[in-house]
Structure 1
Amino acid sequence: MLCFLYIITTLLSLTQHHQQAFSTPTFVYAGCSPSKFQENTQYQTNLNSLFSSIATTASHATYNSFTTGTDSPPGNTVYGLYQCRGDLDTSSCASCIQNAVAELSLVCSDAFSASLQLDSCFVRYSNNNFLGQNDTTLAYRRCSTKTSNDGEFLRKRDDVLAILQNGNGFRVTSSGSVQGYAQCIGDLAASDCTTCLAEAVSQLRNSCGSAKAADVYLAQCYAQYWASGYYFHAPAEYSGDDIGRTVAIIVGVLAGLALFVVFISFFKRDR
């Protein structure tokens, strides 16, 4: 029953959308490697140790990276990091990271490499050392289905994007009715952060056109903008990449299986 309640709680958190700052963090995307590790192996032990370190450290720092275990035998070292949105305090950060680790363990169970983005924090780990490596690979992109060709909106949108792409670390800005923020991974050099954000902003313009709200997450940075009063609309208002829909399907199946197991257990008990 406890397992069932946990899965249902997780499902509800995944089906919510962007909420106001500091509310319950909501799911954005997850990526899981197809290769899986075996249970009760050294890699699993090292991964559990990494998750423990992440959960502990998040209570007093909003970013950190880790290397857990030794590469003997080869392939057992786990590299990982977490990061919270720059306007979160350590208490909110720790809460978000706990949710992220729990959901990552559920969605990407036994994956050698995985990442999960909530709207307020991010967790990533791998058996390959990605720490400090420049990477502008697209992780997730979402554009609202509603658009606006109003000249004033487009000018304000471009003002916001210009400020975001020249930022470093975490930046929040607004122009008229348009707001936005952007952030780079904590260990990224200032010049590399600018390069990453320039790519993210370019994708916002080129791929999302005149969308009233859009998010682009690259491997080491993200940028978002939205028109006031619009950003918190329902998920159906967005056209996202397939991974978001795939994860929703996976979690839905898990919840369905949980319901089935509970039904069978009650059926057997009644007999």
Structure 2
Amino acid sequence: MDISSSKPCCYLLSLTLLFFSCFGNNLSSTNTSKLLDFVYSHCANQYLSTDPAGSLPQILSSLFDELVEQSSQSKFYETSVGDDYIAVSGLFQCRNDLSRDQCFNCVNRLPEMSNTFCGRQVKRTTVPARIRLSGCYLHYKADGSQVSRLELQHKTCSESKAVNDGFEEVRDGAFAAVVSGVVEGNGFLDTSYESMHVIAQCQGNLEGCDCGECVTNAVQIAQDECGESISGEVYLDSCFMSYDYDGINEIPSNSNQGFGKGPAGNSSSGRGLAIVAGGAVAVFLVFFFFYMCRSSRKKSGGKFVKEKLKKYYYFLVQEIFP
């Protein structure tokens, strides 16, 4: 990039835009990558014995192709694929706040992960199976088999505990809000209640009352089994809920963990500090921009300011944002 003929203010404007662009891209890529974090996998303990033609691998391949194709158009889809001997029903669901591209990218990873975790051998393929990432999940089973929508699939509770007296009150208030909110939000809720961030979602084919019942059970499990943990996730067959507390006081699980360890093991304070620090630098650059532009008008041709800004510009481009 040739900036030798630019005016001093243009250098600093370029620096400011460069910072905002790189900082914003880093935050965006972090959020996107978290959607692909692995949560859990469930594979059947027994192999399916009702497939004399050995057609199950091909049926699953057709099922996966259809689900991935539909994920570019919808955030929930269920279907059934089969032959004269066996039929398999399957579905995928993405978090409701994902874009279509994010949903497709998430679901596109699930078939390969299913093959890796659950295996696929002729006449020896495991059914049912379930693969869950942070942003989406895949579930398939033999047609006609039943699973309770309230069956617990996976649960995590952070080792870090809250010690302030107000934690339980905030937690219970947030949990009460999430039950009513997810029904009013047509099966999805992402909100904050005082110092608690909560997310809940029901399977796309669940009616309002069934959705409320499912999330109520997930909330009860979180209360009973996570207790004073500052974060937790509960996944039932047909819904999930997660919470993350950002209160002041906690007992860390060990001295190396930062404040507010979330369910995936990331420090919420680290993310917060990064954003605060980035914001502070951005504010500094804005004020510095106006100051230097004003100073440049007072100097002959702004030559001194121009040379200084050129050095800062190349330093950022070559050393900080290569």
| TM band (smaller chain) | 0.7 to 0.9
Deviation per CA, 1:29-66: give whole Å up to 9, x if none. 11000223589821111111000001100011010001
Which has the higher Rg, Structure 1 or Structure 2?
Answer: 2
Q: Which residue, 147, 170, 173 being the options, matches 1:159?
A: 173
Q: Which residue, 185, 189, 212 being the options, matches 1:194?
A: 212
| Offset at residue 101 of structure 1 (A) | 2.0
| Paired position in structure 2 for 1:12 | none
Distance 1:121 1:107 in 2: 16
Do the aligned partners of residues 196 and 233 (structure 1) sit closer, same or farther apart at CA in structure 2, a change above 3 Å counting? Answer: closer
Matches within 5 A, 1:74-153: 76-110=86-120, 111-129=126-144, 135-153=149-167
Deviation per CA, 1:103-145: give whole Å up to 9, x if none. 11110113121001111101000114358x7520000010011
Contact persistence 1:58–1:93 (CA under 8 A): yes
Do the aligned partners of residues 39 and 55 (structure 1) sit closer, same or farther apart at CA in structure 2, a change above 3 Å counting? Answer: farther
Distance 2:77 2:261 in 1: 29
Q: Secondary structure at the match of 1:157?
A: helix
Opposite residue 36 of structure 1, the aligned amino acid is: Y
Distance 1:138 1:175 in 2: 25
| Paired position in structure 1 for 2:15 | none
Contact persistence 1:22–1:88 (CA under 8 A): no
More moved, 90-99 vs 159-168: 159-168
Q: Secondary structure at the match of 1:202?
A: helix
Do the aligned partners of residues 209 and 35 (structure 1) sit closer, same or farther apart at CA in structure 2, a change above 3 Å counting? Answer: same
Distance 1:221 1:52 in 2: 24
Distance 2:99 2:68 in 1: 15
Opposite residue 68 of structure 1, the aligned amino acid is: V
State whether structure 2 residue 40 is matched by structure 1 residue 35.
no
Q: Secondary structure at the match of 1:215?
A: strand
Contact persistence 1:138–1:219 (CA under 8 A): yes
| Paired position in structure 1 for 2:276 | none
Higher RCO (Cα < 8 Å, 6 or more apart): 1
Do the aligned partners of residues 155 and 21 (structure 1) sit closer, same or farther apart at CA in structure 2, a change above 3 Å counting? Answer: farther
| Paired position in structure 1 for 2:79 | 66
Contact persistence 1:78–1:128 (CA under 8 A): yes
| Paired position in structure 1 for 2:253 | none
Q: Is the strand fraction higher in 1 or 2?
A: 1
| Paired position in structure 2 for 1:230 | 260
TM-score, normalization by structure 1: 0.73
Contact persistence 1:50–1:80 (CA under 8 A): yes
| Paired position in structure 2 for 1:267 | none
Contact persistence 2:233–2:263 (CA under 8 A): no
Q: Secondary structure at the match of 1:23?
A: helix
Q: Secondary structure at the match of 1:158?
A: helix
| Offset at residue 213 of structure 1 (A) | 0.3
Aligned residues: 215
Contact persistence 1:153–1:178 (CA under 8 A): no
| Paired position in structure 1 for 2:16 | none
Contact persistence 1:163–1:173 (CA under 8 A): no
Distance 1:186 1:162 in 2: 22
| Offset at residue 98 of structure 1 (A) | 1.1
TM-score, normalization by structure 2: 0.62
Alignment RMSD, CA only?
Answer: 2.4
| Paired position in structure 2 for 1:170 | 188
Percent identity, aligned pairs only, is 26
| Offset at residue 85 of structure 1 (A) | 0.6
